[in-house]
Structure 1
Amino acid sequence: MSDRQMKLVNLNIGLPKKMTYNENKEIVTGICKKSVDEAYLSYDGFQGDGIADTRYHGGPDRAVCVYADEHYEQWEKEFNIKLPSAAFGENLTVRNMLESDICIGDIYQIGEAVVQISQGRIPCSTITKRIGVPKLLKRIVEEGYTGYLCRVLEEGTIHKNATIKLIKPHPNEISILFANEIYFHRRDDVKGIQKILAVQELADAWRKDLSERLAKLI
């Protein structure tokens, strides 16, 4: 974990709505969130927030989506673009909380609420549709800069200037970056999969997927 202070840069919520892409196509998505001054975080997610595709988003293990502010700088420079706030549909835009620093099972206090890291985010094509840069999604997966998801252990209000504190690091120290490397790139790495599955706090969706993958390998 970095010694630099963790910081909440933006607090973002929004309900699903129509989004136009490629000039005349439309989808209903919850990716277009707005920055707010405060929001109440329940076990199901932020009040006033919502998702459109419940197959891949939402649920207790995926109540909060987090993305690192540092990646905005990289993508803007690499693709010569200016990204909007909450460009990746995240609830919390944070600094000094990179995928390499954050481990599955870590517990954080953010304002009044307490959350636990449950899995890496699996980015989808909606990001491409919103940003309009086709190669961005591929680069996100290549780098492992996907962001990550949390479950809520204690409900409470989060203000935009809320402090973030690591309450309990997970002893296994399986970082989101490592998990992403195994999940996306080293798909046949039996030992790597076993390390991730050894974290009891891993989200059910990832546990099911990785368990099925492991069963075919051994």
Structure 2
Amino acid sequence: MAHIFQLNISKGGVPKLPMREAQVNWLGVLGDLQRDTEHHGGPERALCLYALERILALQSEGHPVFPGALGENITTVGLEWDQVTPGRRLRLGDEVVIEITRYTTPCETIAASFHDGRFVRVSQKVHPGWSRVYARVLRPGRVQVGMPIEFV
């Protein structure tokens, strides 16, 4: 069963640090801040998600990446990542419903997570299926580590 592996926030920048539970509103996880609000945050980019399975695969390639290092608020596990595409809706736990809005555009702030600094390793254009995704919040609420994730 797919579930929330880790929740992550920061006061701006990466890595985002883990927390056990969080409140999600229309603009994302309460307490999470972005330094660059031109490219991050806002209702259409309220949450960033990434799959633990992709992080582990990147580690096996030699990249020093870990959950939260790529700026994701929600690290998933057990979710069919190839099915997490713009327009798809997900329920997180019993309360939160989100809609995937787009693939993220990687930038140099995550370069340290790649052994060669080539952050395009998680670019949808260069490596389809390896991108993180942004989501809008359709129904806010509380989430915590271990809660189920399902397609709506």
Tell me the TM-score normalized by structure 1: 0.63
Q: 2:134 aligns with which of 149, 156, 163?
A: 149
> Are positions 1:47 and 2:43 aligned together?
no
- 2:139 maps to a residue whose letter is E
Q: Which has the higher contact order (CA 8 A, sep 6+)?
A: 2
Structure 1 unaligned regions, length at least 5:
17-29, 168-218
Unaligned runs of 5+ in 2: none
Query: Percent same amino acid at aligned positions?
Result: 29
Which secondary structure state, in structure 2, belongs to the residue aligned with residue 100 of structure 1?
helix
* 1:162 to partner: Cα distance: 1.2
Query: Is 1:113 equivalent to 2:96 in the alignment?
Result: yes
Any idea what SS the aligned residue of 1:138 has? Answer: helix
Give, in whole Å, the separation in 2 of the partners of 1:107 and 1:113: 10
Please say which structure displays the higher CA radius of gyration. 1
Amino acid at match of 2:35: A
Alignment of 1:1-218 (within 5 A): 5-16=1-12, 30-79=13-62, 81-111=63-93, 112-128=95-111, 130-131=112-113, 133-141=115-123, 142-144=126-128, 145-167=130-152
1:143 is paired with a residue whose SS is: coil
Q: CA deviation at 1:104?
A: 1.5
- Going from structure 1 to structure 2, the CA distance change for 1:120 and 1:98 (only over 3 Å counts) comes to farther
Aligned counterparts of 1:84 and 1:139: Cα–Cα separation in 2: 15
**C-alpha RMSD of matched pairs (Å):** 1.6
More helix by share: 1
- More strand as a share of residues: 2
Distance in 1 (CA, whole Å) between partners of 2:60 and 2:137 is 34
For residues 138 and 113 of structure 1, the distance between their equivalents in structure 2, rounded to whole angstroms, comes to 31
Scaled by the length of structure 2, what TM-score is found?
Answer: 0.88
User: In structure 2, how many angstroms separate the alpha carbons of the residues matched to 1:44 and 1:104?
Assistant: 18
